[in-house]
Structure formats: structure tokens, C-alpha cells
Structure 1
Amino acid sequence: MSADGENSADIFIYGDIVSYQWDETDTSATSFKKDLDALGDVDTINLYINSPGGNVFEGVAIHNMLKRHKAKINVHVDALAASIASVIAMAGDTIHMPKNAMLMIHNPWTLAIGNATELRKVADDLDRIGQSVKQTYLQKAGDKLSEEKLQEMLDAETWLSADEAFEYGLCDVVQEANQMAACISEEYLSKYKNVPEQLKIQGKNHQKTVISAEEMAKRQRIADEAKANSAYINTILGGMF
């Protein structure tokens, strides 16, 4: 909560957008709802983002929670809002980006197996989901961004600077550069095609933490739960980024 007497509160998305939380830096729709509910009756929410993205449906749910909330939403892209994290950012009534922050947009994708009929359905579903996500960007951008130009950028996996995001209406306020480091793991480095060189260097230099036996046991439990839902996850409703 704010210490200056204003009826406002801060909330953070600093890590991957996931269905199952591996650690405290991950954010799922369920964990975000708990954080949002814990804020209570506030007039202003300051959402701080530094995320490489993740599961599209979890992110869409988070975006819609924010859009439904009665509070004014101030979004601060502290370093990176990539993929579905950029869609979450579009929920902001005002989006702030330091000059050294980045916004990345691309078409949704998934992993799928099956016969030709099943794979054609996956492709059709991806198109429908992509169209829905595209409207989120267009609604924020207004007349600063045409649908044709947006589709061109989505097809190319485009990494936008704060100034470029402002030019296209995807950011409202460009601020002075800060010292925040963009958050992107090696997993996401391998998934994205056009990762800026400075983010690749940060990813390679990222130090792996030692995982305790307790943490490994927790992760195994989560993995077992995920396997139990494998039939669901292997459809269009899972693994989407």
C-alpha cells in the first residue's frame, strides 16, 4: 500500500507467466488474483513488469482481471514486457517505459502433435487466438497503429524500444533510463528469434542457483500434476506463448 496517504497499491510481475508456479518469481493467473484481492479497495494500482512472457491463457486472464478492476491501472515496464507480458501491459490506463526498457510482440505459438486434421485445427485456433490478442494492441494504440503494420510486426517478432512503443501508441510515457536489467532466461532465448544482443549476453551470464532437495520435491509434485493433465496440455490450451 502507498505510504503517502493515497489510496493506491503496488503489484509486481517479475518473471515468467506460468500455469504452475515453480518459484516465487513466477506468476500464474491464480497467484495474481490472490495478490490483486489482497490489495483491497484501492483507487490506483501500480503494476510493475519485468517478464519474458509465458502461457498465453494465463496472461490473457491476468489482463482481463486488470481491465475489470475499478482502479486506475498504471503500468511500469521496468525493463522488459515480452510476448504475453506485453499483452498484460496493455491493460494499463497509462503505460510508462524508461528509455532502456523494451516491449516485444509476436504471433502466438504452441507445440502440437497429431494427425493432419488435428494439426490444421491447431493452426486455425492459433489464428483465432492471434486475432484476439491483436485487438488488444489495436485498442491501446488507437489511430497510431494500423492493423496491417501491427501484423507485419507480429510476424517479424518485433522488439520495440520505449520510443518506438510510444510512436505506435503502445506506451504513453517515456521516462529516463533506469538501472533495471531485463529478465530473460536461456529457455526463452532459445524460443525467440530476434532477441537483442545485450539480452543474449545477460542470459549467458545468468548464474544458476542451487536447488535444495525440498525445492526439487516441490517441483516434482508440480511436474506430476502437469503430467496428469498432459492430454489437456498437449492441445491448443497448453504451452502457448
Structure 2
Amino acid sequence: MTSRKKFWEMKQVADNKSEADVYIYGEIVSYKWDDEDTTASSFLKDLKELGDVNLINLHVNSPGGNVFEGIAISNMIKTHKAYVVAYVDALAASISSVIVAGADKVIMYENSMQMIHNPWSGKVGNAKEFRKMADNLDAIAESSVITYLNKAGEKLTEEKIKQIMDEETWLSAKEALNFGLCDEIYESNQIAASISDELFEKYQHVPENLKQEEKNDEYQIKEERKQIAERAKASAIFYENYIGGM
């Protein structure tokens, strides 16, 4: 099975204290329920603890999450004194693509993707509240537009990025490179995309290959758990029959 990174990790490179590796391998949330969650405050805390680093390798494999938390993280990256290289290890979807756009350099693998769309809300209310929410969502979207355009430069127009967002666009590495949202492409990576069935249902145009990778990954996990259970059962029988139990 492919080795799995922790959802959230930030550490200095062992042989180079001026360089750090940062991993965002899960959803961006507004409240940190456990150590694996990524919030703006937890990101800032861990970033400060890294100390005086000159290079940050930011590895992202995330389905996105809370817009404001993601924008805050993106701004932290953009204003940090260190040179930040963002690696899209498999998927940078939704607000995690905005985080990536805040880096000085973006590297994607041939088989990695970015997904860009407009922010949405599950708000419940009356017509007046929905109209206000629509205005708020438009304003929130503008902050993402600015980040994408700052990264892309002349390769991307405001009209085009808004079209990309309207259509919930899943960009391949080559497409992201053409739009200026990626600076370099590496050979294919073996890391599977980190996206849940619940989020698959929310997104409208999820590529079939990502769905298949998720199914294969889940099948592999189930098979491994089954094997572990069978070994445990066999060990229990051994102890019971030959050693007298535990």
C-alpha cells in the first residue's frame, strides 16, 4: 500500500534547519477538532515554531474546506519571508487551490489536478437572506479571483478565471501551466487524491478517474483490515489452544 502522510504536518528538514516541509493532506476547517485538522490559527502557530527558515516545501493533497481559513493561510504563505514552493501531490481543490496560488512557485505532477469553483453555502433562510447570501458569496469569490490573478499574471484574464470558477473546472497539470497557475510539471506521482464520498456528491464535475482511484483505495484498505483481522483471529486461536489463553 502507498505510504500515507499525516493530514497535517509541519517539520524542519533533518539535515537543513533553514528548510521546512509542510503537509496539508485533508480538509481546511474552521475549528481544530484534532491534530490532523488544518485551521488558520494552527497553521500560524506551527509556522512560527519552524523558526527562521528560508525555504518552505508545501505539499498539498486536499479537497478544500472553509474559505476564510484558506484565504488566511494563503496570505500567510504569500507574506512569509521564506521562499515557498507548493507541490500539488494529487489534488488541490476549491480553497486549497487558493492556498497553492499564494506560493512563490507551484509544482504539479503529470497526474495531479487543481479544481477551481465559486464558493457555496448551505444556508437556510428566507428570500431576503438568500439575496444577501448571494451578494456575500460574490464578494468572497472576488478575494479568490485576486489571488489567482496575482499568481497567473498575464496568462489569465479576470473574465477567464471567473468562467473557470462558474463552471467548476478540474484543471490538469498542463492546463494549470497554461493558465499560469502552475510553474513546473514533474512526472506522475503515485499518491491518491484525498477526497471523501460526501465531497464527491457536492462537486458536480468530478473526473471519473478520481472516483475510481478513491474506490480502489477504499477496497485496498478494506482488504488489509480483513487480513489483519484474520491474523488476529488466528493468533487468538493459537493462544487459546496451545498456550491457554491470555
**Scaled by the length of structure 2, what TM-score is found?**
0.81
Tell me, yes or no, if structure 1 residue 191 matches structure 2 residue 194.
no
d(CA) in 2 for partners of 1:31, 1:140: 25
What's the counterpart of residue 231 of structure 1?
Answer: none
What's the counterpart of residue 226 of structure 1?
Answer: none
Match of 1:113 among 107, 110, 124: 124
What's the counterpart of residue 186 of structure 2?
Answer: 175
Larger radius of gyration: 2
After TM superposition, give the deviation of residue 23 of structure 1 in Å.
4.2
What's the counterpart of residue 79 of structure 2?
Answer: 68
> What root-mean-square deviation, in Å, do the aligned CA atoms of Structure 1 and Structure 2 show?
1.8
Residues 51, 184 of structure 1: 8 Å contact kept: yes
SS at structure 1 position matched to 2:68 = helix
Give unmatched runs, 5+ long, in structure 1. 211-241
Q: Point out the more displaced range, 141-150 or 26-35.
A: 26-35
Tell me, yes or no, if structure 1 residue 30 matches structure 2 residue 41.
yes
What's the counterpart of residue 49 of structure 1?
Answer: 60
SS at structure 1 position matched to 2:91 = strand
Match of 2:28 among 17, 28, 33: 17
Cα distance 1:201–1:22, how it changes in 2: closer, same or farther (>3 A)?
Answer: farther
**Scaled by the length of structure 1, what TM-score is found?**
0.82
After TM superposition, give the deviation of residue 20 of structure 1 in Å.
2.2
What's the counterpart of residue 50 of structure 2?
Answer: 39
TM-superposition CA deviations, 1:100-157 (whole Å, max 9, x none): 1100000011111222211111000001111111111011111111111111111110
d(CA) in 2 for partners of 1:59, 1:114: 26
After TM superposition, give the deviation of residue 2 of structure 1 in Å.
2.4
Higher relative contact order (CA 8 A, sep 6+): 1
Match of 2:92 among 81, 84, 95: 81
SS at structure 1 position matched to 2:13 = coil
Q: Sequence identity of aligned pairs in percent? A: 58
Residues 186, 204 of structure 1: 8 Å contact kept: no
SS at structure 2 position matched to 1:7 = strand
After TM superposition, give the deviation of residue 176 of structure 1 in Å.
0.9
What's the counterpart of residue 104 of structure 2?
Answer: 93
d(CA) in 1 for partners of 2:98, 2:46: 19
What's the counterpart of residue 103 of structure 1?
Answer: 114
